[in-house]
Chains A and B, each alone.
Chain A
Amino acid sequence: MKISGKIASFFNFLFGDSARAFGALSVALVALLAVVPAADFFRDWRGYQKRYLRLVRGRGDATSLTRRFQPGLQQIWMPELGVVDRCPTCHSALKEASLVDVKDQPFRPHPPIPHSVTGFGCVMCHRGQGAATTVEEAHRSTKSWEDPILPARYLESSCGQCHMERLTGTPLLNQGRQTLARYGCVRCHVIKSPDGVAMTGTDDPPSLAHIGAKTTREWIAAWLKNPQAYASSATMPNFQLPDDDIRDLSAFLIAQSTPYLASREAAPRVPTDDRALKNGASVFGESFCSSCHAIQNAAGMLVGGNLGPELTRIGSKAKPEWLADWLRDPRVYDPDTQMPHYRLDAQQRGLLMAFLGNKTDPDFLGNRHFDPPTSVQIDHGRALVNERGCTACHEINGVKKADNFAPELTLVGSRPLAKILFAPGVAHTLPDYIAAKIRQPRSFSTSLKMPQYTLAPEQVEALVTALLAQTERAQKMPTALRVPPRRASDYHAAGQAGRLMEELRCFSCHTINGRGGDMAPDLTWEGTAVTRPWLVNFLKNPNTLRPALIRRMPKFNLTDAEADTLADYIMTVYQTPAFDRDSIDSSRFTPADAEHGKELFYGKYACQSCHIVDPDKDKGYIGPTLTQTGARLNAAWIFHWLKSAESLRPGTLEPVWKMSDEDARAVSAFLVAQKIAPRTEPAKK
């Protein structure tokens, strides 16, 4: 009662007569009009701009800093990129490199990057809401804005929106893309680059068409149970199958397996004594199997390359008759294998079989033994193959390849949070969701089909980085900004030599004309570089050129005719158009040239830091040994190499010397004089 009475009398006081009412309304209107400028006056960014001016006032270059400072709302606007970034309103010092010692945001200058901040804007790389002018709205996600600032650890993903090619400065992104291709992710998930090309796998999942000839059902079961128990480096994930499913899957795979065209040659005699094991290890070493295959040593460390499968427990897997055929010619079992056809003789194969057959692990197979499979088991196995998408990676007789088995991830980096079901305990951000999904896919739902991978934390971080690059923005980017990947070429050498090169799988390690691996030197212009006698000898008996490298050229045991065919082709076809191989006549070098070259070699250019010419004195072993350069290389190649090695072989470690013609000529004369007659092998027929 009292309160309503007071309100009534107050109302009378304000609006009792028309003059009072006019006055009161005028005051109210003025107050109302004052709200807008007042609210504007107290905006976040005005405070930051005042603080910035106070900050620069005491500095040495205060005058120029103050002059460059622009008050009011600042905006980077690029309609063609869809960028409206008002970040410089508060981040006033973005381009002021002299403020490098300032530690407080928003006043730090942007660290140096290859792009201009005003040329690309901020949200392109950092995400967030560019048009917002308050701290909260710009950086964090709200109900109407789901794209908060990208955590700094995943920043490299933003480079990947335009750059499809490997960049030196983005190791995490490179590793992530490599992992997507190597761990089979792209065999189930379609991931397209903005140019519409889907990523392809670089792993080589074996065909299971003849699996029964290669291994036993017991091994398949143990492998399916836990692939990493067989080989810690295995890329096959764990499908976490119950024992009954494993039993039925192995039954189906064995039942579907057909025999391959096995050789009719008798398997070599396999010696079993201790000396055979030792000699087998020597053959394994001499053939440089470990360039591609790793074996765990006594200390549990993996020693060897990862191009082929790990062989630590190969004796528990491979059937001896299969291994005999494989070592004789791997293409008989798998026409597409990357493994070269070594021309090993029966004795060498026998020793290798003894060595590899001894690499067993009884704990891995356990005491499992299966009765012959029933038709119920086989049918269930077939259903499981279809259900689990085994054929997305592996070829299996009688089952169609599973295409698009898993959701497409081309736009996963822009997936709206509203469409994501988060598992309990996962922070509600896109990077955390993707990381959790990779780490433990089944934690989201036990019915999910995605298998469990064994990945290091760094690998998960790399994968998240690569996937966050798959944004809608990347798809809409103007074509001119895209840096497309170098697409692999499908170069094939022609004729008999071409067939031989395929048989020896030269392209597994060497790149020629854009096709091939990166384990060994690029051979695109090898014919200009080397001399024919040296090449023939090297093909038959590869000696060590680079002592610091672990991976070496294997000895293929070529016949004279085969070495000649290869050498003829390389010498004729693989020639650089830049200069003529015979343009410098080394016979016109004088001993004085060579003497001067020696001074330059050891003095001005200090080549001995990396190369050995005199094995008794020189110690550097980063580059190839130069003791037989005169027999190995052509003078013109050496001359041009000393001028600009990188233009002859991109990616070489040799610095670009840009030597003067006189210096290059003198050093060439010195190197051409280095000749040690190569050891000759008795001819093999």
Chain B
Amino acid sequence: MNRTWWAWVIPMMASVGACARHPATPLEPKPKAFGAEVVLVSGDKQVAGVGAQLDQPVVVQVNDRKGAAVAGAPVRFAAAGGVAFQPDRGLTGSDGQFTTNVSLGGMAGPYQIVAVTTDSSGKRAEVRIEEIAEGYQERLGQQLNAIHCIRCHDPESTPERVSNHDNLSAQAHAFTEGAVLNAISDANLTAIISHGGAALNKSPEMPPYGNRLTKSEIDALVAYIRAVSDPPYRPQGVFYATN
């Protein structure tokens, strides 16, 4: 019997498998220059819904040892948990910067993304960038914040909303002030929102919202405050089931 048919079938199957399984990987651009470090220019600490694209792109810059921007240096982005980059790799532009649009993963919580560049010897330099994805609760909290809290708690004004922050005698804490807010327990934070600042010997300029917002809405606000906190909020102690 003729055994030569094996010689045909194996490469055919191999090529069919290769075509079906592996889409062509994008060609890695050839670096024109190399830097020593990569730094963040803009786009960290953004808040977006789960799975959504961040409003602003993330911009990083590659510098040489003296801190001067390097054009044409390789940059590659990576992250865990379903984060997508558009594009995820490339060369820095003439200003030494590289811009990518980031879509976060499907789970709420903080996401860490890493931008990597390599020098001529292949040694890696990287910068870590943090972004925040909101689940339903954080999203609701953000909306409630925009209605009830932001005018006093955000020192920045916009054309549509003048900040009242500087008109208060006790300065309201921005919700990103993790150094202060992380030290307040969930129970105390809920108490301040529900009963007002006076209830915890803080300024009465913080009014009580316990009769205005429902329990779940106040929970949502606390979840939002925890989500945007910088440095990030780390819950303490043992967890016990609640349901």
Scan residues 69-84 of chain B and give those whose CB is less than 8 A from a CB of chain A. 81
> B136 to A169, Cβ gap below 8 A?
yes
In the bound complex, CA of A458 to CA of B101 (Å)? 13
Q: Which residue of A lies closest to B105 (CB)?
A: A152
Complex contacts, B51 vs chain A, CB 8 Å = 151-155
Is A372 part of the binding interface, using a Cβ–Cβ cutoff of 8 Å?
Answer: no
Q: Which of A105, A154, A170, A655 has the most CB of B within 10 A?
A: A655
> A609 to B205, Cβ gap below 8 A?
yes
Number of A-B residue pairs at CB separation under 8 A: 131
Number of B residues whose C-beta is below 8 Å from A? 54
> A656 to B211, Cβ gap below 8 A?
yes
Closest CB in chain A relative to B150 CB, distance in Å: 11
> A646 to B49, Cβ gap below 8 A?
no
> B162 to A621, Cβ gap below 8 A?
yes
Scan residues 24-64 of chain B and give those whose CB is less than 8 A from a CB of chain A. 49-53, 55
Complex contacts, B55 vs chain A, CB 8 Å = 458
Q: Which of B105, B108, B151, B235 has the most CB of A within 10 A?
A: B151
Complex contacts, A604 vs chain B, CB 8 Å = 198, 204
Q: Which residue of B lies closest to A95 (CB)?
A: B243
State which of B135, B203, B220, B240 has its C-beta within 8 Å of the C-beta of A606: B203
Is A60 part of the binding interface, using a Cβ–Cβ cutoff of 8 Å?
Answer: yes
State which of A3, A64, A97, A461 has its C-beta within 8 Å of the C-beta of B52: A461
> A97 to B167, Cβ gap below 8 A?
no
A605 and B204 contact, Cβ closer than 8 Å, known pairs A620-B167, A621-B167 = yes
Scan residues 80-110 of chain A and give those whose CB is less than 8 A from a CB of chain B. 95-101, 103, 105, 108
Complex contacts, A156 vs chain B, CB 8 Å = 49
Interface readout for B68-112 with A: 1 if CB under 8 Å, 0 if not? 000000000000010000000000000000000001011111000
Is B143 part of the binding interface, using a Cβ–Cβ cutoff of 8 Å?
Answer: yes
- Select the stretch in A111-119, A571-579, A586-594, A626-634 that faces chain B: A111-119
Is B241 part of the binding interface, using a Cβ–Cβ cutoff of 8 Å?
Answer: yes
A99 and B144 contact, Cβ closer than 8 Å, known pairs A111-B136, A550-B159, A606-B204 = no
A609 and B239 contact, Cβ closer than 8 Å, known pairs A152-B50, A550-B159 = no
Scan residues 189-222 of chain B and give those whose CB is less than 8 A from a CB of chain A. 198, 203-205, 207-209, 211-212, 216-217, 219-220
In the bound complex, CA of A581 to CA of B61 (Å)? 66
Number of A residues whose C-beta is below 8 Å from B? 55
In the bound complex, CA of A154 to CA of B49 (Å)? 9
Chain A residues touching B, majority SS: loop
Closest CB in chain B relative to A258 CB, distance in Å: 41
Is A242 part of the binding interface, using a Cβ–Cβ cutoff of 8 Å?
Answer: no
Interface readout for A50-63 with B: 1 if CB under 8 Å, 0 if not? 00000000001100
Q: Which of B55, B161, B242 has the most CB of A within 10 A?
A: B242
> A657 to B208, Cβ gap below 8 A?
yes
Complex contacts, A170 vs chain B, CB 8 Å = 139
State which of B1, B211, B240 has its C-beta within 8 Å of the C-beta of A98: B240
In the bound complex, CA of A548 to CA of B166 (Å)? 14
> B205 to A98, Cβ gap below 8 A?
no
Closest CB in chain B relative to A147 CB, distance in Å: 17
Complex contacts, B151 vs chain A, CB 8 Å = 548, 622
Closest CB in chain B relative to A285 CB, distance in Å: 16
> B211 to A644, Cβ gap below 8 A?
yes
> B136 to A609, Cβ gap below 8 A?
no
Complex contacts, A64 vs chain B, CB 8 Å = 241
> B241 to A61, Cβ gap below 8 A?
yes
State which of A3, A95, A99, A458 has its C-beta within 8 Å of the C-beta of B239: A99
Is B147 part of the binding interface, using a Cβ–Cβ cutoff of 8 Å?
Answer: yes
State which of B164, B168, B211, B239 has its C-beta within 8 Å of the C-beta of A61: B239
Closest CB in chain B relative to A344 CB, distance in Å: 27
Is A610 part of the binding interface, using a Cβ–Cβ cutoff of 8 Å?
Answer: yes
Closest CB in chain B relative to A136 CB, distance in Å: 15
In the bound complex, CA of A552 to CA of B205 (Å)? 27
Closest CB in chain B relative to A402 CB, distance in Å: 36
In the bound complex, CA of A622 to CA of B204 (Å)? 16
> B136 to A98, Cβ gap below 8 A?
no
Is A660 part of the binding interface, using a Cβ–Cβ cutoff of 8 Å?
Answer: no
A550 and B160 contact, Cβ closer than 8 Å, known pairs A96-B241, A152-B51, A620-B168 = yes
Query: A111-B136, A605-B204, A609-B164 known; 20 other A-B pairs, CB under 8 Å?
Result: A61-B238, A68-B241, A95-B243, A96-B241, A98-B239, A100-B239, A101-B239, A111-B108, A152-B51, A152-B106, A153-B51, A155-B51, A156-B49, A168-B147, A169-B136, A169-B143, A603-B204, A606-B207, A622-B151, A653-B147
In the assembled complex, 10 residue pairs joining A and B whose CB atoms fall closer than 8 Å, in A order, are A96-B241, A112-B223, A153-B50, A301-B159, A550-B159, A609-B152, A609-B164, A609-B168, A655-B208, A655-B211
